[in-house]
């Protein structure tokens, strides 16, 4: 190679956007370009002569030292050369930067064993990947959330109910389902408008979230209908929780637009999730109990009983 060719490649090396390294056989830095200095925070003159392990976190450095020892003993590169690898390097201020490394053998005129390495700064890519994951998680969550009440929606609730039924069948545990429907909700919409009806739905959702247990799942299933999935809860305990919500709602005034405030109530039906219960049938049972509550005067809770269809919560 002529002196001119050497100068061309030196300029290419020095002006590369990516960090470029020339390493001795024992993995000490012989040359580094300006991008390598910018990436690591060291000056080029500070890097030259240092072991590459200067830039490696402890776990990576341990692997690297083992690789170098194996290479010296056996002359084998263990398939590392030519394979892009992602890890983090330590900068001068001891912060971590994600990079992609590709190492390769260099053949020089002096027959010394050397290696070359290219490091690509992945900070922008990693940030983009995190933003994409966050966006995907957000979109997935939005697909499962009712936008008006910010409770879970029917799709999320149905999936959770299927899983809970399977868990009860597998472990013979207890769980309950409560179906809730606002009494005379059509009159609210007809009298005050749908915007007022939306406010009622939002305020009821707020009450339910505050009263149900942390492990319970509360969802708006459509219109004025809500569902509460209650794992590790027998029907009697479920009644206590739902009646507490009913009492809270009964003593509250629901604020509407233009200074209007109204009182509302709801009717609820509860069904026990038993071994081999089918989710659709369970919903039918809880619904039947809820409609029984409406027929008996509303503002009450009924529990599904197989023999009679439903019984008062107080029974």
Determine the Cα angle at 241 with ends 142 and 165, to 5°: 60
Whole-number pLDDT of residue 310? 56
Which of helix, strand or coil describes residue 134? Answer: helix
The band of 59, judged by pLDDT with boundaries at 50, 70 and 90, is: confident
pLDDT tens digits along 248-289? 999 998 988 777 889 999 999 999 999 998 999 999 999 999
Q: Is residue 139 part of a domain?
A: no
308 beta partners: none
pLDDT tens digits along 16-47? 999 999 988 888 999 999 999 999 999 999 99
The band of 314, judged by pLDDT with boundaries at 50, 70 and 90, is: very low
215 is catalytic: no
Whole-number pLDDT of residue 78? 59
pTM: 0.62
Q: Is residue 135 part of a domain?
A: no
- Candidates 224, 225, 236, 307; catalytic one: 224
CATH number at residue 8: 3.30.450.20
CATH number at residue 307: 3.30.70.270
Residues 304 and 164 in one domain: yes
Residues 102 and 170 in one domain: no
Alpha helices (H) along the chain? 3-14, 34-40, 44-47, 58-74, 123-142, 154-171, 185-192, 194-211, 235-250, 279-295
Q: How far apart are CA 161 and CA 230, in angstroms?
A: 10
Residues 179 and 118 in one domain: no
Give the containing element (helix H, strand E) for 22.
strand 19-24
If you average pLDDT over residues 133-137, what whole number do you get? 89
Q: The domain containing residue 225 runs over which residues?
A: 144-312
Residues 212 and 159 in one domain: yes
Determine the Cα angle at 224 with ends 196 and 300, to 5°: 110
Q: Is residue 57 part of a domain?
A: yes
Determine the Cα angle at 19 with ends 57 and 101, to 5°: 55
Helix, strand counts (H, E) of the chain: 10, 13
Q: Which residues are CB-neighbours of 45 under 8 A, at least 6 positions away?
A: none
Whole-number pLDDT of residue 315? 35
Residues 122 and 205 in one domain: no
Q: Which residue carries 């597998």 as its tokens?
A: 170
Boundary residue ending a domain (81, 98, 127): 127
Q: Which residues are CB-neighbours of 196 under 8 A, at least 6 positions away?
A: 188, 189, 256, 257, 260
Please tell me the total count of domains within the chain.
2
Residue 205, pLDDT above cutoff 90: yes
Residues 219 and 150 in one domain: yes
Residue 90, pLDDT above cutoff 50: yes
């Amino acid at each position: 190679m002529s002196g001119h060719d050497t100068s061309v490649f030196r300029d290419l090396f020095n002006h590369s956007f990516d960090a470029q390294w020339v390493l001795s056989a024992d993995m000490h830095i012989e040359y580094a370009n300006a991008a390598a200095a910018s990436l690591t925070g060291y000056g080029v003159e500070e890097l030259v002569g240092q072991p590459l392990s200067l830039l490696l976190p402890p776990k990576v450095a341990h692997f690297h030292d083992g690789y170098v020892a194996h290479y010296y003993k056996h002359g084998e590169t263990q398939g590392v050369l030519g394979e892009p690898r992602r890890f983090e390097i330590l900068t001068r201020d001891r912060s971590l930067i994600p990079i992609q490394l590709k190492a390769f053998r260099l053949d020089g005129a002096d027959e010394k064993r050397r290696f070359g390495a290219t490091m690509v700064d992945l900070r922008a890519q990693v940030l983009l990947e995190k933003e994409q994951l966050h966006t995907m998680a957000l979109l997935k969550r939005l697909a499962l959330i009712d936008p008006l009440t910010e409770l879970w929606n029917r799709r999320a609730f149905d999936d959770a109910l299927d899983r809970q039924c399977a868990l009860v069948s597998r472990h013979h545990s207890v769980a309950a389902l409560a179906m809730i429907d606002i009494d005379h909700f059509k009159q609210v919409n007809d009298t005050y408008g749908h915007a007022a009806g939306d406010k009622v739905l939002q305020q009821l959702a707020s009450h339910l979230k505050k009263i149900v247990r942390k492990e319970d799942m509360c969802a708006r299933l459509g219109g004025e209908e809500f569902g509460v999935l209650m794992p590790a809860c027998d029907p009697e305990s479920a009644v206590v929780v739902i009646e507490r919500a009913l009492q809270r709602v009964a003593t509250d005034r629901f604020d509407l637009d233009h200074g209007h405030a109204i009182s509302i109530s709801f009717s609820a039906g509860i069904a026990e999730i038993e071994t081999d219960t089918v989710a659709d049938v369970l919903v039918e049972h809880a619904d039947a109990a809820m409609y029984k509550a409406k027929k008996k005067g509303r503002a009450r809770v009924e529990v599904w009983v197989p023999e009679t269809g439903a019984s008062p919560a107080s029974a």
